[in-house]
Amino acid sequence: DGLAVDLDPAALPMVVCGHSLGGALATLLVADVTANTPLKPQAWTFASPRVGDATFAARYGGLSTVSWRIYNQVDVVPYFPVDATDNYQPVTAGYAINSLGKAKWSIGCAHALNTYLHVLSAATVPLDPACS
């Protein structure tokens, strides 16, 4: 109930975005809203860690919602959590970018949202000065 009742699913699309832990939360929110309301939000996540196991990923894939999981190949966060059995899975194949040669390499720069936006925008979004 609440907000979902007041929103018109035929109106403008709902887009839920998040970076890092916010991307994981966006994934969970889109799964919940899509499964439990008539709304069909889109998910746009950047640098999200893996959210659930293979069962969750399969159910998420069956929700028929638009979902963009964008990750930097040299960012460590999208590969976490790591466990011996690798139960955690990405919810979609994802869209890989690579910031090598486009931004200074460091764990922080590889993970920074500004680095993601810089690479995706063909350098029209400026880098953080620490990553230039």
Which residue in 19, 48, 67, 111 is the catalytic one? 111
Is 75 one of the annotated active-site residues of the chain? yes
Which residue in 20, 48, 67, 99 is the catalytic one? 20
Which residue in 19, 48, 67, 75 is the catalytic one? 75
Q: Which amino acid is at 1?
A: D
Is 19 one of the annotated active-site residues of the chain? no
Is 67 one of the annotated active-site residues of the chain? no
Please say whether the beta carbons of 63 and 32 come within 8 A.
no
Q: Catalytic residues, which ones?
A: 20, 75, 111
